[in-house]
Amino acid sequence: MNFRIGIGIDTHKLAEGESLILGGVDIPHYKGTIAHSDGDVLIHAIIDALLGAASLGDIGKLFPDTESKYKNIASTKLLKETIELLEKNKYKIENIDSTIILQNPKLAEYIDKMKDILSKKINIKGTQISIKASTTEHLGIEGREEAVSAHAIALLSIL
pLDDT tens digits along 63-116 = 999 989 999 999 999 999 999 999 999 999 999 999 999 999 999 999 999 999
Give the C-alpha separation, 17 to 104, whole Å. 15
How far is Cα of residue 94 from the mean position of the Cα atoms in its chain?
Answer: 17
Per-domain boundaries in the chain: 3-158
Give the per-residue pLDDT at 44.
98
- pLDDT interval class at 1 (50, 70, 90): confident
3-state secondary structure 75-117: HHHHHHHHHHHHHHCCEEEEEEEEEEECCCCCCHHHHHHHHHH
Give the per-residue pLDDT at 158.
95
pTM as predicted: 0.97
Superfamily designation of domain 3-158: 2-C-methyl-D-erythritol 2,4-cyclodiphosphate synthase (3.30.1330.50)
| Residues 33-62: tens digit of each pLDDT | 999 999 999 999 999 999 999 999 999 999
